[in-house]
Amino acid sequence: MKKTILSVAVIFALGFTSCKNETKQDTETSTTEVSNDMAMADISFGVRGNCGMCKSTIEKAANGVEGVSNAIWDVDKKKMEVSFDDTKTDAMAIHNAIAASGYDTEKVAGDLEAYEGLPGCCKYDHDMGMNQSVD
Ligand SMILES: [Cu+2]
């Protein structure tokens, strides 16, 4: 008789604790919804240039902007793709950095002094189409 009462008590106790655990878990999941994402932005825009040396100059300029995590210039499309943390920088800062290195972007004309300092093969045509779609 005593044994039955004891086991019933144990079952109750177990049931009780497991219920308690469930409620605890519920509150935990609902309170850990704190977003840890960085505000990453991806943009693309046209940039004029000729060759692989242009590519490294343009990409170096873009990567030199604080907050830029990835910058790739496509020589065939004359197109830039940049990922950046938009709490640290913005699109215009990236356009300006590329322009300062001597290259024209869609929004900012390249610095002419820097352009004059580019290697001969890199002196791109200022009328060149940019942000092209190439099949
Ligand atoms: Cu070049």
Q: Measured in angstroms, how far is the CA atom of residue 124 from the centroid of ligand 1?
A: 8
Instruction: Quote the domain boundaries for residue 64.
Output: 40-122
- What is the rounded distance in angstroms from the CA atom of residue 60 to the CA atom of residue 89? 16
In a domain, 106, yes or no: yes
In a domain, 35, yes or no: no
Q: What is the DSSP letter of 61?
A: H
Question: Could you tell me the CATH number of the domain that includes residue 99?
Answer: 3.30.70.100
pLDDT in tens, 101-111: 999 999 999 99
DSSP string, 83-130: EEETTT--HHHHHHHHHHTT--BSSSPPPHHHHHTS-GGG---TT---
Using only the alpha carbons of the chain, give its radius of gyration.
Answer: 29
**Helix (H/G/I), strand (E/B), else coil: 76:** coil
In a domain, 133, yes or no: no
pLDDT in tens, 58-73: 999 999 999 999 999 9
Provide the domain count of the chain: 1
Going by pLDDT thresholds of 50, 70 and 90, the confidence category of residue 33 is very low
Q: Measured in angstroms, how far is the CA atom of residue 36 from the centroid of ligand 1?
A: 40
Full-prediction pTM beyond 0.85? no
Mean pLDDT for the chain?
A: 84
